[in-house]
């Protein structure tokens, strides 16, 4: 299995600044249901990130650290083409064993070079 490989999506939105932070969006080269977001300051320090792997969400926040969630879609999502899936609501995952495979994959993921080290130090 090849590792997940993220890239930066350039857009007008990524140039906008809200409360001193820019939001950078990551797409994924080899997995359609994986994507991410980081919020950075003008010195390119990460203030928050969120990576979605299917319906599992890894989120890092200052003073809180890494937290794990599962979306409501993981519980109640009908499958099929054209099925409206609605909004995602995050449900905290208390037992890290539930997501150990995703967490290990996140550690092996190829992030854009500029952000890789900063992201991985928060996931470890």
Using the structure block, give the residue that is written with the tokens 């939001």. Answer: 23
Neighbours of 109 (CB within 10 A): 22
Query: What residues contact 8, with CB distance under 8 A and at least 6 apart?
Result: 14, 24, 25, 26, 112, 114
pTM more than 0.85: no
The confidence score (pLDDT) of residue 65 equals: 93
The confidence score (pLDDT) of residue 8 equals: 96
Predicted confidence (pLDDT) per residue in 21-52, tens digit: 999 999 999 998 999 999 999 999 999 999 99
| Under-70 pLDDT residues of the chain | 1, 73-88
User: What is the 3-state secondary structure of the chain?
Assistant: CCCCEEEEECCCHHHCEECCEEEEEEEECCCCCEEEEEEECCCCCEEEEEEEECCEEEEEECCCEEEEEEECHHHHCCCCCCCCCCCCCEEECCCHHHHHHHHHHHHHCECCHHHHHHHHHHHC
């Amino acid at each position: 299995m090849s590792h997940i490989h993220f890239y930066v999506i350039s857009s007008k939105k990524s140039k906008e600044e809200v409360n001193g932070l820019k939001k950078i969006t990551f797409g994924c080269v080899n997995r359609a249901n994986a994507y991410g977001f980081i919020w950075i300051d003008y010195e390119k320090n990460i203030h928050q990130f969120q990576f979605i792997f299917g319906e599992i969400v890894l989120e890092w926040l200052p003073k809180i650290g890494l937290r794990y969630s599962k979306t409501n879609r993981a519980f109640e999502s009908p499958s099929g083409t054209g099925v409206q899936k609605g909004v995602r609501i995050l449900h905290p995952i208390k037992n890290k064993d539930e997501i150990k495979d995703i967490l290990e994959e996140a550690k092996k993921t190829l992030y854009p070079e500029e952000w890789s080290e900063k992201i991985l130090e928060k996931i470890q």
